[in-house]
A and B are shown apart, each in its own frame.
Chain A
């Protein structure tokens, strides 16, 4: 089973600043990585798939990069609606699909 780790666990950022979230896979997953955003009381929402492709309707301030074992989600200028928990997920080696533990982005 591929283990996903994320850092940091919590990221405190001021509105308008850049946020950089990291995700690491325990073995290579090529570019088969997705990022999800989850707000309190809501279901997750797909942001990025294929490591760098934005999902439909996702603003351009969200970008993903990386391949192999190291991945990054960047939010270029945080808006108030971006404060949430972000999960990475690998779908390269299935089953199982595995998620990272999440990074909470909160207001500094």
Chain B
């Protein structure tokens, strides 16, 4: 069974940093591209970042460039999102999601349950 378990969400002050993690199990992690997608409370889905199976291809939402960094550790079957200079508008549930294959241009087929990031003073 595919499982994606996010962690690291917290209440943080504006301007601070936070690192999210996603532990994957039930599949061969390095066969799949991965994404982070966020959802502000009561709002729609917003793609944040994606990374190919071997980290050779990375991309970010234009509005986030320079503040967020995606990475993965295939040996640990883990995905990460380093978030710096956090703003109130970054408040959201952050979902770890798996692409259907090794490239990020494929549909997302599994989602974690999400971790909540709240940015507030």
A55 to B109, Cβ gap below 8 A? yes
* Number of A positions contacting B (CB below 8 A): 26
**A87 and B59 form a contact (CB under 8 A):** no
Q: Inside 8 A of A1's CB, which chain B residues have their CB?
A: 62
Per-residue contact bits, chain B 80-111, to A (CB 8 Å; 1 contact, 0 not) = 00000000000000010000100011111111
Q: Is the CB of B111 within 8 A of A43?
A: yes
Contacts of A97 in B (CB 8 A): 35, 37, 47, 50, 104, 108
Which residues of chain B are near A91, meaning CB under 8 Å? Answer: 105-107
Check B106 against A96 for contact (C-beta < 8 Å).
Answer: no
* Nearest CB of B to A59, in Å: 17
Which residue of B is nearest A85, CB measured?
B44
Instruction: Say which size band chain B's interface belongs to.
Output: 20 to 34
Contact residues, A58-108 vs B (CB, 8 A)? 87, 89, 91-92, 94-102
Do A99 and B111 touch across chains, with their CB atoms under 8 A apart?
Answer: no
The answer to whether the Cβ of A16 comes within 8 Å of any Cβ in the partner chain is: no
The answer to the question of A34 belonging to the interface, with a C-beta cut-off of 8 Å to chain B, is yes
* A46 touches B (CB below 8 Å): yes
Kindly state whether residue B45 has any CB partner on chain A within 8 Å.
yes
B113 A49 Cβ-Cβ under 8 A: no
- B residues neighboring A (CB under 8 Å): 35, 37, 44-47, 50, 59-62, 95, 100, 104-114
